[in-house]
Amino acid sequence: MMQMHSPITSVILVLLILLVASSPQVYAAQCFAANNELKDAAGRYVDNTWSTADETEYGPIEGWCFTDQVTSMSELFKDASAFNEDITAWDTSSISDMREMFNGASVFDQDISNWNTSSVTTMSRMFMLASEFNGNIGGWDTSSVSNMRFMFFQATQFNGDISTWITSSVTTMESMFEEASLFNQNLSLWNTSSVTTMKNMFRRASVFDQDITTWNTSSVSDMSFMFHKATQFNGDISTWITSSVTTMESMFKGASLFNQNLSLWNTSSVTTMKEMFSGASVFDQDITTWNTSSVTDMSFMFFQAKQFNQALSTWITSSVTTMDSMFQGAVKFDGDISGWNTSSVTTMKEMFRGAIVFDQDITAWTTSSVTDMSLMFHRAKQFNQALSRWDTSSVNTMAQMFEGASLFNQNLCGWKDNFPYNNAENIFQSSGCIFRSTPANDQGSFCIVSDCEPSSEPSSQPSSEPSYQPSVSAMPSSQPSSEPSSEPSYQPSVSAMPSSQPSSEPSSEPSYQPSVSAMPSCSPSSAPTEAPSKPTGVNLFYAIWVEGNEGCRNDGDEPDYMAVNPTEWLSSTMEACCKKYFVGYLYDACMGRYPPDHDDCNVMLFYPDWDGSNKNCLDDGKEPYYMLSNHQYFLSNTREECCEKFYDWDFYTCSGTTPELTHGEFYPDWSGGGSTCLADGNKIPDYMIGNQKWFLSTTLEKCCERHFYWDINDCLGTTAVGTDKWYASYEDQKCVQDCSGAPPCGGVAEPWDQKYTSKEQCCKGQLSWVAKCRFK
């Protein structure tokens, strides 16, 4: 007899049937029981070697299950560039390691919002290079996670709300959002009290600009590159506790909008500030109170910080060893740094290069340890301080040190005994020096002095070789001695300068060459002047420095001090003597000829009138004698040439003209926040006038390449796509391609990265010590 069900029982059976039908499919398959078993199976799945037997044993991937013995999913889908399966239902409650789980899974973007992550301790590189992932993971339990290093590195689509994550156990956030180019979410509630490193955290996170004011940074030791190229970030971080930070290298490098108050920061533990504000083009905050006593590296610190102009006079710099390019391109900086202790600094290369308004008194600096001063004041157009007392005994190179420093005009004879004569090429090129040739020996010329006199004071240490003759006083005493000397004087005494009146009787012998006035006479003589014949039996020439009668003679009347040291003072030919001791117009006069510029006395040349109150060039024939002696430098054929050379910062006032554009050329715009070149139709800045050849370029590309080489893509307004060549990623110890996207791309290389046409060449050239570099 058929058993009948009551109505209630029937209803229950129907409900059970409906419940089973609506539930996820349950697979009668084996669960994974070991970490390596799961990883091997996943490898076969993504490599398309997954078999029917595998499917039978474990079931479809969306239903995979795991025993409590499975604790790691690290690298499970690493570099699985085509993987995008539905793994929503996975039970991850026993998993503690998700390191690199989706690293390089460039198309993965599934819903994993319901995963149980309460046991996970590391999520390092979890979504690195997962360039399509933008899932909702804001509800994840991250209370046990200690490592979020590189978690969203180059996750270029990710912009999920993770504001409520519990981060109290996290110790490293290094590169967490580096190059996550769309990420801009609220992180203000995060507990960062345990974090020790924030290195690269928002590096190239180009839209991030959230309030992180309240973060607890008391445990952080590394903030290097933290906001490098975070071009939108300008958050208030004035109250951060930085007492544990040891490195701030490149922290705000290229953060082109950042300009917040940092005056309260404790920097007493910081050892490097290298490139800290390099390219931070609007930053100009008071950081006078910073404790820099532990800092050893300040190289490139304010490189191209185009608005920065703060007094840093109270900084303690006694530990700093390198100031390489520290203020290079800081076009507004003119802060007082006169009291800095530079006794430990070994390199000042390019320190003020392009710092076009800097002119502070740094004469008291201790430079005894400096080995490199090359390009130090290159194009520092306003700088003109007396540096003759600097100790240059350790300097190996001064190449181009003052090149383009158009106002620099100082006596540097104090350097003559400690000067790198073989490594100082173009030291005074295009500067304000009267004598711009590179000094060849300790006699000069040294900027405004053509011939350095012997030192009036004895040196502090004995010379390396004995002197050739006994030393003599610089000048005879002004009063006669009370008693005659026991021996005759070494040579007749000579007045310091010839008397202003002619002698009452003619000299007993004719002068070797005609006397020369400061300028040639404008009226020809009635008959040509003949030089007297050379005395017979005399072959060596010596110099005479009597104003108006400068020249070289070989009449045998050279002073005794020259005669006893002929190698130093005497020359075998007149040309050699004139070339050694006279320059400019005086060289021509010495050789018995006048410069072509002065042949036509009806044409006056223009010279800078520095004695006048106005910026002016005159052609009244009253140029000072020192200008005549170097006429090639000081005299110009036109007023415009003179104004451009000596008053380039106010060319139009000097020349009395109005601005004329060069039509179609481009100049660097350092007044804005970005890397921009403008067409000169916008009128170039006044300080560029007179030096257009350097500032102006015929094309936008040339302008960007010359002035913004470190940010050329931004300057050109193009997207950085890379060259597809190979460069070294030292972080990963492998070579990657210079491009964005999935591996083998490693992001767009920096301009300074060495690039190779093949991976093998890159490994050999940059990572030769990494045994498996070619296979990574």
3-class secondary-structure state, position 585: helix
The sign of the torsion formed by the CA atoms of 168, 118, 70, 153 equals: negative
* Bridge partners, 677 (sequence order): 668
pLDDT of amino acid 718: 53
In the predicted structure, residue 450 carries a pLDDT above the cut 90: no
First to last CA, the chain: 74
Checking if the pLDDT of 774 tops 80, the result is: no
Q: What does the pLDDT average to over 635-649?
A: 78
Higher pLDDT, 657 or 339: 339
Which sign, positive or negative, has the C-alpha torsion 708, 709, 710, 712?
A: positive
How far apart are alpha carbons 1 and 717 in whole angstroms?
88
* Contact (CB, 8 A) for 175 and 205: no
The answer on pLDDT for 504 being more than 50 is no
Same domain, 703 and 738: no
DSSP designation for 587: H
14 assigned to some structural domain: no
Average pLDDT over residues 266-289: 97
* Residues paired with residue 676 on neighbouring β-strands, in sequence order: 669
**What letters, b where the CB count within 10 A reaches 16 and e where it falls short, cover 284-299?**
bbebeebbbebbbbbb
Q: What is the model's pLDDT at position 10? A: 56
Mean pLDDT of the chain: 82
Model pLDDT, residue 677: 82
pLDDT of 470 > 70? The answer is no
DSSP-H helix ranges across 631-770: 631-634, 639-646, 651-655, 692-695, 700-707, 712-716, 759-766
Supply the pLDDT for residue 502. Answer: 45
Pair (711, 753) in one structural domain:
no
- Residue range 73-113, pLDDT digits in tens: 999 999 999 999 999 999 999 999 999 999 999 999 999 99
- Examine residue 736 and state whether it is found in any structural domain, yes or no: yes
Could you list the residue range(s) of the whole structural domain that residue 732 is in? 726-775
- pLDDT at position 486 over 80: no
Pair (649, 625) in one structural domain: yes
Point out which residues pair with 606 in neighbouring strands: 636
pLDDT classification of 746: cutoffs 50, 70, 90: confident
Does the pLDDT of residue 23 top 60, yes or no? no
- C-alpha separations of 180 from 208, 574, 626 in Å: 9, 73, 63
Judged against a pLDDT cut of 90, whether residue 379 lies above it is answered with yes
Instruction: Please state the rounded mean pLDDT for residues 521-541.
Output: 47
644 and 607, same domain (yes or no) = yes
Q: How far is CA 17 from the centre of its chain?
A: 74
* Whether the Cβ atoms of residue 65 and residue 31 lie closer than 8 Å to each other: yes
The proportion of the chain whose per-residue pLDDT surpasses 70, expressed as a percent, equals 75
In a domain, 757, yes or no: yes
Least confident segment among 103-107, 205-209, 213-217, 460-464: 460-464
Report, as an integer, the average pLDDT of 447-464: 62
Both tokens assigned to 685: 């800045």
Cα 630 from chain centroid (whole Å): 36
Domain membership of residue 428 (yes or no) is no
Burial of 529 (0-12, 13-18, 19+ CB in 10 A): exposed
**Is pLDDT at 729 greater than 90 in this prediction?**
no
What pLDDT, on a 0 to 100 scale, did the predictor assign at position 96? 98
- In contact, 336 and 358? CB cutoff 8 Å: no
Asked whether residue 84 is domain-assigned, the answer is no
**Is 644 strand, coil or helix?**
helix
What integer is the mean pLDDT of 260-276? 98
Split into its structural domains, the chain has a count of 3
Q: Could you tell me if 710 and 740 lie in one domain?
A: no
Residue 456 confidence (pLDDT) above 60: no
Q: How confident is the model at residue 692 (pLDDT cuts 50, 70, 90)?
A: low
Q: Average pLDDT in the 399-404 region? A: 96
Provide the pLDDT for residue 664: 63
Residue 689 covered by a domain:
yes
673, 710: one domain: yes
Position 681 in a domain? yes
pLDDT over threshold 90, residue 719: no
Residue with tokens 């520290």: 326
- Please state which of the ranges 128-132, 152-156, 219-223, 470-474 shows the lowest mean pLDDT: 470-474
**What is this structure's pTM?**
0.60
Q: Which residue has the higher pLDDT, 174 or 714?
A: 174
Lowest mean pLDDT among 535-539, 571-575, 603-607, 662-666: 535-539
Q: What local confidence, expressed as pLDDT, does residue 408 receive? A: 96
- Is 81 part of a structural domain of the chain? no
User: Residue 587: what pLDDT?
Assistant: 64
Amino acid at 649: W
Examine residue 744 and say whether the peptide bond preceding it is cis (omega within 30 degrees of 0): yes
Q: Mean pLDDT over residues 313-340, rounded?
A: 97
- Output the CA–CA distances (angstroms, integers) from residue 221 to 112, 144, 569, in the order listed: 34, 22, 63
Give the C-alpha separation, 324 to 340, whole Å.
15
String of DSSP letters for 702-731? HHHHHH-GGGHHHHHT------S-EEEETT
- Name the domain boundary from 617, 632, 655: 655
CB count within 10 Å of CB 513 equals 20
The listed range with the strongest mean pLDDT (13-27, 136-150, 488-502) is: 136-150
Question: How far apart are alpha carbons 761 and 772 in whole angstroms?
Answer: 14
pLDDT at 732 (0 to 100): 77
pLDDT greater than 80 at residue 467: no
Average pLDDT over residues 489-501: 40
